[in-house]
Structure 1
Amino acid sequence: MSKPKKSQVMKPATAALKLEVYLLATPREFQEGMVSREELDELQRNPPQWLVDLRRDGPHPRSVVAARLRVSNSGLARGGITDPLTTAQIAALVADPPPWLIRERDIHAETQRESRRLQERRGNQS
């Protein structure tokens, strides 16, 4: 007879990363406890109000900010964005993009084009 499987648990920071939310904006109970794989799945399937609000309004972690601005994480740093941003702050940047954002979008788009080109080239060599 085999032992019952233990549920995998993760640190709150890992769970926040998987949920794409800023850890320090989550409730204290979330920040202080371990999160099981089942709990994470349940949060993704049926998000509580705090998670819905965070995903909608922010503050958002760097990866989400970068994706919404269509730049890389490095581009954010070069643009001087080091703190999490709210949805409203992101919308303001999109509405009136500063020169650094326009430049970083161009760099990011070119990097993605080159990456796709190389991937297609590797695919054709097979």
Structure 2
Amino acid sequence: MSQEKNSQTMKPLTAANKLGIYLPATPESFRDSTFTPAQLEALRNEPPEWLTELRRTGPFPRDVTARKLGISNSGLQRAEVADALTTAEIESLLADPPEWLTRERANLVAVREEAERVKAKEAERRAASNRPAKNR
């Protein structure tokens, strides 16, 4: 058996996720294919025109849209943003942010600050619990 036959393949959805693109916006030939890690790497290193254009203008999958808006995936869900957004739509939202976007951005900042506070407190607690053990 050749090495190629033993190579694992991935479904189009997995490949699209790894490329950070929205599967329904890809060409049919992409959606009907399976991909080896080598083929995926080739797409990353030398993207075809459709992939370059898709990365530039979208539409983007939920996680990329959320990152570009500076909010969480959950924030998009709470705002009931169901469709994948394009670069133009994202820029429009950022230029004149609706109330939900402002609220979700503030929420994400608060969540990150709380996570940092908890992390620092836990590190402090661990350091304090290690000190007495060293003195024994």
Length-normalised TM-score, structure 1: 0.91
- Give the 3-state SS of the residue equivalent to 1:9 in structure 2: coil
Quick one: distance in 2 between partners of 1:122 and 1:12?
41
1:12-67 Cα offsets, whole Å, 9 max, x none, are 00110110000011111110111111111111111111111000000011001000
* Paired position in structure 2 for 1:80: 80
1:9 maps to a residue whose letter is T
Normalized per residue, which structure has more helix? 2
Which piece of structure 1 moves more, 112-121 or 66-75? 112-121
* Paired position in structure 2 for 1:17: 17
Quick one: distance in 2 between partners of 1:102 and 1:29?
39
1:98-126 Cα offsets, whole Å, 9 max, x none, are 00000000001111122223333444426
Change (3 A) 1:4 1:36: closer
Length-normalised TM-score, structure 2: 0.85
* Paired position in structure 1 for 2:116: 116
* Paired position in structure 1 for 2:64: 64
Query: Is 1:33 aligned to 2:62, yes or no?
Result: no
Structure 2 gap ranges (5+): 128-136
Quick one: distance in 1 between partners of 2:96 and 2:3?
56
Query: Is 1:49 aligned to 2:49, yes or no?
Result: yes
1:55-91 Cα offsets, whole Å, 9 max, x none, are 0000011001000001111101111211000000000
Structure 1 gap ranges (5+): none
Quick one: distance in 1 between partners of 2:8 and 2:123?
37
Q: Which has the higher contact order (CA 8 A, sep 6+)?
A: 1
1:23 maps to a residue whose letter is L
Quick one: distance in 1 between partners of 2:122 and 2:45?
37
Aligned-CA RMSD value:
1.8
Figure out how many residues of one structure are paired with residues of the other and give that number: 125
- Give the 3-state SS of the residue equivalent to 2:118 in structure 1: helix
1:12 maps to a residue whose letter is P
Quick one: distance in 2 between partners of 1:117 and 1:39?
43
